[in-house]
Structure 1
Amino acid sequence: MFNPIERYLQIRRLGVLGMNRRNIRYIGRYNKRSVYPNVDNKLKTKLLATSYKVQTPELIGVLETQHDIQDLHSIVQGSEGFVIKPSKGSGGKGIILLRPTTDGQFEKLSGDAVTSNYIETHASNILSGLYSLGGKPDVAIIEALIIPDPVFDRYSYQGVPDIRVIVLQGFPVMAMVRLPTRQSDGKANLHQGAIGVGLDLGSGRATGAVQFDMPLTYHPDTGSLLSEIKVENWTTLLTLASRCHPMSALGYLGVDIVLDKKKGPVLLELNARPGLTIQIANSCGLLPRLRAVEKIKHAERMSAEEKVAFSQKNFARPEASSATPADTNTSV
């Protein structure tokens, strides 16, 4: 029989961060409303990252008016693949990933063919505000499709995996990789069926995996054992995440990073209201780590490298971190 008091005490023992406390204690305290546009507007985030010399996917074009849609095909002509996304979207809504076919048309990464009318209609819907926060008119961003590092080939269905890092005052406190599935239509979106794999901060090794908040051992489409995942260049990736704190002026944020075959870690986007499923993927609560960071004196004087070193030392799992140094070239 379900015992709500016992369940509550279990959650407290694990140090699980709930939505209300997240909103009041961390988002409300550390994120000023005046800087939300730095992350809620993906185009502004991209331009800001460029000024801070933080790598992002190549910008191919921007559609600002319905009239601009007539230039869409000339903008993407010759592209090896592209992404159309709303600048002010959230939750992965309105994002489509397309690649060229042999007959000069385009298809989704799932292999489903799309017509020119479909692409133009989708762009029009973005501009109309169908996917934007508050339903306000938006602009459509067209980016070059990331060429994913092959280290995730065995663990992803067609799309591009991304790595979410929760950062408090520049200190990485928890991370996971989100793996596309057939069910998620090749998107790394947990709400649509992607897999969340917890990652040890010390080593980048997998700590557990979930799909729709339920434990998972093997990727449902590839059959690969998810516990074997280990991310390369882990310390470099965490340092990039740490640098996004002064760049965005947000104290508590989610940093989404992809591994590009040629460029290495690349910033995909920032989130001022990161979700809490990352705790389930890691079988670990955020609260103890957040409180540990809050106790650090003169944290503002520490460099990104020093903050990452602190996190890797204090938040690592001994069983996950003992095998291989974090920044070796060991493949996943």
Structure 2
Amino acid sequence: MISFFKKFEEEGILGINRRIGEYILPYNPREYYPLVDDKWKTAELARQFHVPMPYHYGLVNTFGGIRNTRELIKGRPGFVVKPANGGMGNGILVITGESEYDNGSIIFHKADEKKITEKELYHHVSGILSGLYSLDGNSDSCILQERLECHTFFREISFRGIPDIRVIVFLGYPVMAMLRLPTKESGGRANLHQGALGVGIDLRTGTLTHSVCNDKIIHLHPDTKRKLSGRVIPCWEIILQMASRCFDMSGLGYLGVDIVLDELRGPLLLEMNARPGLGIQIANRMGLLDRLRLVERIHDPADGPKDRVHRMLQEL
């Protein structure tokens, strides 16, 4: 057992206890957590720092306000229903369109091609308000958000949903990144614990490298049957600079930044995470520790986002 942990240490693998004790607790002040845990507050903060995000159509924060849902989404070609304080993709509902029948009833079409009634939609909103999907189990608010258009780059390698890019940022320096691709198993969601793919990204070039699904190494997307490695993500330096800016915006020294690529609007901040998971190491087949220690050596408080990105890429 001792040799097993020694091997992890030699490979620079960051474990859960070290992540918490050496990075999350010292570098993430507790008072800043609400800025990233509450997605509505994140959006307000992003506006102040001119960081683009998906448009928010409205917020439902009382059970009486559920009746206003229809008005908030009226005329939208599609929308996303999500808990303001949710995590790991739980409670997110993606609606791609709707149909109205002769009797006036409305049917909503989900991203997984299933259908729900208007009553079922309102029931889902009610579940969000009751705290069914919140991180702490307390009552929550429901965000009605713009449904994004999948960027052309991802259309042949993703199953239905919108992929996202997770970047680990330490003291404002991007240290590791991976692409999360939806699958049939994940229901079109880009969440690894639901069966999405994690694809490592060469931080210097934005090139896709290794792929994992359910902690198993794969080479082709299980649904599209397309090879993933070797493709270069568009707007890569812009994505890294946006991730770096989230350090200044949130005040958190160690965080995960999730960015999506919209066909029309380009890179958009989806959310930030004060407790990012460690699966990114599996996707990249390397540990985080060496890069975190590199940042500790090169860190300059005077650097801005662009400088931090350039300095990090030069050191790799």
Same fold (TM over 0.5): yes
- How much has 1:7 moved relative to structure 2? 2.4
Instruction: Letter of the 2:112 partner, please give it.
Output: S
Higher mean displacement: 267-276 or 78-87? 78-87
Moved over 3 A (4+): 101-104
Alignment of 1:111-190 (within 5 A): 111-190=113-192
- How much has 1:6 moved relative to structure 2? 3.5
Q: Deviations over 1:191-214 (max 9, x none)?
A: 000000000100001120101111
Instruction: Letter of the 1:210 partner, please give it.
Output: V
CA RMSD in angstroms comes to 1.1
CA distance in 2, matches of 1:244, 1:296: 19
Higher mean displacement: 18-27 or 133-142? 133-142
CA contact (8 A) 1:197 1:208 kept: yes
Give the aligned partner of residue 320 of structure 1.
Answer: none
- How much has 1:113 moved relative to structure 2? 1.1
Give the aligned partner of residue 310 of structure 1.
Answer: 311
CA distance in 2, matches of 1:214, 1:14: 19
Alignment of 1:46-61 (within 5 A): 46-61=43-58
- How much has 1:228 moved relative to structure 2? 3.2
Aligned positions, number: 311
Give the aligned partner of residue 324 of structure 1.
Answer: none
CA distance in 1, matches of 2:185, 2:25: 34
- How much has 1:91 moved relative to structure 2? 1.3
Give the aligned partner of residue 71 of structure 1.
Answer: 68
Instruction: Letter of the 1:260 partner, please give it.
Output: D
CA contact (8 A) 1:201 1:311 kept: no
CA distance in 1, matches of 2:171, 2:230: 31
- How much has 1:313 moved relative to structure 2? 2.1
CA contact (8 A) 2:82 2:91 kept: yes
Give the aligned partner of residue 27 of structure 1.
Answer: 24
Please, which runs of 5 or more residues in structure 2 have no aligned partner?
A: 101-105
Query: Which one of 70, 74, 95 corresponds to residue 98 of structure 1?
Result: 95
Give the aligned partner of residue 15 of structure 1.
Answer: 12
Secondary structure in structure 2 of the residue aligned to 1:275 = coil
Give the aligned partner of residue 284 of structure 1.
Answer: 286
- How much has 1:88 moved relative to structure 2? 0.8
- Is 1:275 matched up with 2:277? yes
- How much has 1:282 moved relative to structure 2? 0.1
CA distance in 2, matches of 1:228, 1:80: 34
CA contact (8 A) 2:98 2:108 kept: yes
Instruction: Letter of the 2:312 partner, please give it.
Output: S
Instruction: Letter of the 1:32 partner, please give it.
Output: P
- How much has 1:13 moved relative to structure 2? 1.7
Instruction: Letter of the 1:82 partner, please give it.
Output: F
- Is 1:251 matched up with 2:248? no
- How much has 1:155 moved relative to structure 2? 1.0
- Is 1:217 matched up with 2:214? no
CA distance in 2, matches of 1:158, 1:228: 22
Secondary structure in structure 1 of the residue aligned to 2:229 = helix
Q: Deviations over 1:294-320 (max 9, x none)?
A: 1125x11011111101222223xxxxx
Please, which runs of 5 or more residues in structure 1 have no aligned partner?
A: 316-332
Secondary structure in structure 2 of the residue aligned to 1:141 = strand
Higher mean displacement: 271-280 or 132-141? 132-141
Q: Percent identity?
A: 45
CA contact (8 A) 2:85 2:140 kept: yes
Give the aligned partner of residue 103 of structure 2.
Answer: none
Higher mean displacement: 35-44 or 107-116? 107-116
CA distance in 2, matches of 1:147, 1:311: 31
- How much has 1:102 moved relative to structure 2? 4.9
Give the aligned partner of residue 200 of structure 1.
Answer: 202
- How much has 1:101 moved relative to structure 2? 3.8
> How high is the TM-score relative to the length of structure 1?
0.92
Instruction: Letter of the 1:304 partner, please give it.
Output: P
Secondary structure in structure 1 of the residue aligned to 2:126 = helix
CA distance in 1, matches of 2:165, 2:107: 30
Q: Deviations over 1:80-106 (max 9, x none)?
A: 111111111111111111111454631
